[in-house]
Structure 1
Amino acid sequence: MSRYAPRIHTDPTAIAALEALLPQLHGQTQVELTLEDGSRLLGTVAVQPTLQQYRDADENEGSNGQLRLDDLDTPVQQHVVWLDQITAIRQLPYRE
């Protein structure tokens, strides 16, 4: 069964922008994300995300990816973020 995403990307420039996020999102890295709606999330990257192929509602195929972020203050709470929603990433000093 195909996987669906709210938005997919086929433009090489957009895909390159998504790929540029990946080196900043290594597993167990603590980050502050700024999302396109202006909200911010603080958390620990559970597993480094990858770009994958998805379909949109019109069955077009393209790239996107999902990041699983464990909340920094409440680690049992997980956030799942589409990579194309991220506008900025700031590395945080490690805290336990």
Structure 2
Amino acid sequence: MGSQAQHVYTDQASIRKLESLIDQLPAHGHVVLVMQDGCSCDGVVSARPNMQMCRDTDQHEGLNAQVKLQRPDVPEWNRRVWLDQVARVEHLWV
């Protein structure tokens, strides 16, 4: 148990949604993540995310997942995003 997440999930519907997002994030895929709050971020998926057992701020155990995005043109840039904050994934084809 290494991660602390703002939210964790134990119900099957939420877990299936996280699994669906994971399936849409192949390693080295160039994507735009449209977030629940309406903002977005784009980058290249460094590795396909995995579901993780985490604790939330109240120490409840459950599942969540993170994806790490990178930009090859800006090597020092990267961003980690919790998948429960993602509304949808858009794929950029180059």
User: How many equivalent residue pairs?
Assistant: 94
Q: Following TM superposition, where does structure 1 have runs of at least 4 consecutive aligned residues deviating by more than 6 angstroms?
A: none
- Please give the residue correspondences for 1:15-34 in structure 2 after superposition, counting only pairs within 5 Å: 15-34=15-34
Cα offset for 1:73?
Answer: 5.4
List gaps (5 residues or longer) in structure 1: none
Give the strand-richer structure, 1 or 2.
2
Deviation readout 1:37-91 (Å, 9 max, x if unpaired): 1111111000100111000121110000110001365343001000101101011
| Aligned CA-pair RMSD | 1.5
Q: What TM-score results when the alignment is normalised by the length of structure 2? A: 0.91
* 1:87 equivalent in structure 2: 87
Q: Is 1:48 matched with 2:20?
A: no
Q: What TM-score results when the alignment is normalised by the length of structure 1? A: 0.90
- Please give the residue correspondences for 1:8-19 in structure 2 after superposition, counting only pairs within 5 Å: 8-19=8-19
Matched residue SS, 1:20: helix
Identity between Structure 1 and Structure 2 (%): 36
Paired residue type of 1:37 = D
List gaps (5 residues or longer) in structure 2: none
Sort the Cα spacing of 1:68 and 1:2 in 2 relative to 1 into closer, same or farther, 3 A.
closer
Sort the Cα spacing of 1:51 and 1:71 in 2 relative to 1 into closer, same or farther, 3 A.
same
Q: Is 1:5 matched with 2:9?
A: no
